[in-house]
Amino acid sequence: MSEQSCEISVAGIVQGIGYRPFVFNLAADLGIKGYVMNLGDAGVKIAAQGQKEILLKFIELLKEAKPKLSIYESFQIEWKELITNFTRFEIAKSSSSGKSTGFSYLPPDITICEKCVEEMESDDQRRKDYPFNSCVDCGPRYTVIEKLPYDRPNTVMEEFTFCHSCQQDYENSKDRRFHAQTTCCTECGPKYTLYSISKGIISFSNNGEMIKFVSQEIEKGKLVAIKGIGGTHLACSTTNDDTLLRLREAKGKRKFKPFAIMAKNIQAIDKFADMNSEEEKLLTSFRKPIVLLKKKIDYYLSDWVSPGLHNVGVMLPYAGIHFMILREMKEPTIVMTSANPSNYPMFIDNDEIMEKLAYVDYFLLHDRRIYQRNDDSVIRINKLGEHFSNKFIRRSRGWVPEPLISHIDVKNNTLLGIGAEMHLIPSLMKGTRIIPTQHIGTVTLLETYEYMIEAIEHLLKLYNSKIDAIAYDMHPQYLTSTSIDEILHHFDVEKHNAFQHHEAHIASVALEKKIQPEEEIIGIALDGTGYGRDGSIWGGEIFCGPITDLERVGQLEQFNLPGGDLATKYPLRSLLSLLSLNFKRDEIVDITADLVNTLPRGKEEVEFVLTQLEKNVFPIGFKTTSTGRFLDAVSTFLGICGEQTYEGEPAIRLEGYSLGGKTSGDPLGLEIPFKETKNGHEIQISQIFPQLIDLSKNISKEKLAYSTQQALGKAISDVVSSIADQRNISKILVSGGVCLNGIIIDEIVKSVETEKRKLLTNENISPGDGGVSVGQLYLLALSSYSNS
């Protein structure tokens, strides 16, 4: 029977996950000749020669038996005349000539697999206690790749020449390190070195002895800086109050901001936190994010891990070094918090680590370059109605650089969405694919701004692309906006558009849920800060219309922000403003008498703010409809949190505190009314305070807190339901940082959703400002580039 040939072009996640070795071994088993080749940013090409029946079987198995992490976006087969007579099947040298009209998939950094962990704990001389052990199924990817195609010379591993044994593993088609680009061992790979702040390098006979020493020192209360896959962590005990307070002081007076912790296994987590099946699934996935879990009643870790909160951020080991440290410890958990100060890029250079972290006791550093920083991802799972919903607080390691798939196509144009300013994650779009960068942080420092530019440049270099147009936030004072001319010049771009912050939030959901551009929707945007079209600070908005022409049809009641950012830092200022809408000056003084110590100047400051409020001296930029500032004010009124020491703290602590007052229904009968105004529906949030004052003598603060958030959710849903009924709208989109509040959003879901109406929110990107760039891209694409 004569042989035939075909050419198969595959796009999707097919590089960096052992796809070529899979194709090679499958072809060898079936006796097929030809080759498999990486095509730079265009996926993989397979040339196959054999009998037609065998080739059809080959194609079937390529689809059905592919590696577990691979995803096919396209799989095209072209039958050809037999021209080249192949004599064998091989992995051909990669080509960079393949071009696609979109970004190809690249795998994220992958948690070390069970087989590699088992080798680390075996008697294998080359891999016993070797923390960089990896294979085709696991190990770093994005953090080590310098350019495509994904081959060892294009990664930082080029600096580590194979020893003879690793070379054999790499070339052996039956070995799981066959063409695994990060293959290495104790003989030829990267190495860890332990430094003491006082004694310099500390020598050990082997890695096992070094890690045993480090583990013992952590349990004694020492601070250790550990360089990992995408940055540097600070590790210490989770039960030693003195050590945790020392760490808080050292990290720039980090008063109450929670620390993430790493637990040895699921059994260890179960002793201090509650988990549902979805949370456990995330914790044990190959992505290994930090997952926010509810503390058990008998939570035994130090209160200084996550002070004042109902939850704690937990992750499982994802690198070899983590498994080794926890294996040697009696304690089943350790703090693993980012070593960099807030809003500063992660430390990746050894000299910088030792200089900037001179307050630690030890440095556990390796000599493999981190080409791209990549912070740990953070996720919370909320129950919305009858289903669970992923809520990204930070989308980074484990996901980057996986693309989102859009339902609109910008063809060969490359668009950049910069984002806002806080929790920044820029995104690039080409064709139908959108690739968010890793988490950058809040861009208020030059170092973070430069990190943002470098992250964008890296993606452009990977995909050999040039930006055609840029979208950014219309806030006139964000560094990303004030520097737009410099950014345009840097990337040699002329076209640019500024978009309203909350409209971009809604657009991010529209893209994620594939809402058609002409479809009329209702959008709810709830957050702390966003520059409004009228120059005021928005943050509690209801929109209606098609995504490119949203009309603001509702908002929270507007109130003044005495001192601007000072009202965010000290929420009693916002509370005074809200109280002034219903109470006289002497009444407000009496109501807040027990709260004056939350302000730096106490009573004097209260009197000053009240005088300002009476004179109404506030320009438009100091007026707000912010949901976040309202929740902060409630938190202060109830005595839960009177000072913001990290972003969102008063509102976050309000939610946690209120869970103790959760009841069925709302027996307290709290209501937030709304009224019609010339600007649409106004939700009169100030009306909650007279009710709280009346009930506060007889009702617990927990119940008041819970019922207030329920009342807010109910008020928003009442307005939305009214608009939806009037205009016959079936899709309600909700976004913004307040979407992380499970009480409010669950109430909106329960009250809004019917058989005909569906509430949609972000699940694959953050509902907070980390997702704004995706919404900006959608709006930019629809304005100039779409072919939907």
Catalytic annotation, residues: 20, 38
Which ranges of 35-97 does DSSP label H, i.e. alpha helix?
52-64
Other C-beta atoms lying within 10 Å of the C-beta of residue 263: 25
CB proximity list for 659: less than 8 A, separation 6 or greater: 294, 310, 702, 706, 743
Report helix, strand or coil for 238.
coil
From the list 442, 439, 448, 454, the residue with the least C-alpha distance to 491 is 454
Which of the 8 DSSP states describes residue 687?
G
β-bridge pairing 623-624 and 559-560? antiparallel
Q: Are 147 and 156 in contact (CB under 8 A)?
A: no
CA angle 586/589/595 to nearest 5° reads 170
Which of the 8 DSSP states describes residue 103?
P
Token pair belonging to 99: 């071009």
Q: Are 448 and 442 in contact (CB under 8 A)?
A: yes
Dist CA 551 CA 687 (whole Å):
26
| Sheet-wide strand order for 427-430 | 404-405, 433-436, 427-430, 414-417, 469-473, 495-499
State which amino acid sits at residue 218: I
Dist CA 508 CA 528 (whole Å):
17
Helices (H) and strands (E) in the chain, counts: 24, 32
* Alpha carbon distances (Å) from 776 to 358, 432, 517, 772: 41, 15, 14, 6
Dist CA 336 CA 329 (whole Å):
14
Dist CA 580 CA 619 (whole Å):
17
Dist CA 96 CA 618 (whole Å):
59
Dist CA 238 CA 304 (whole Å):
8
Q: Are 103 and 431 in contact (CB under 8 A)?
A: yes
Dist CA 16 CA 140 (whole Å):
10
From the list 384, 385, 396, 433, the residue with the least C-alpha distance to 413 is 433
* Alpha carbon distances (Å) from 729 to 17, 267, 521, 522, 720: 44, 47, 6, 7, 10
Is 97 buried (19+), middle (13-18) or exposed (0-12) by CB count in 10 A? exposed
* Alpha carbon distances (Å) from 511 to 113, 433, 516, 781: 34, 11, 9, 11
Token pair belonging to 522: 């209702």
State which amino acid sits at residue 466: K
Q: Are 470 and 493 in contact (CB under 8 A)?
A: yes
Which of the 8 DSSP states describes residue 544?
E
Dist CA 525 CA 518 (whole Å):
20
Q: Which residues of 555-575 are buried (b: 16+ CB within 10 A; e: fewer)?
A: bbbbbbbbbbebbbebbbbbb
Q: Are 40 and 96 in contact (CB under 8 A)?
A: yes
Cis peptide before 571 (omega within 30 of 0): no
Report helix, strand or coil for 314.
strand
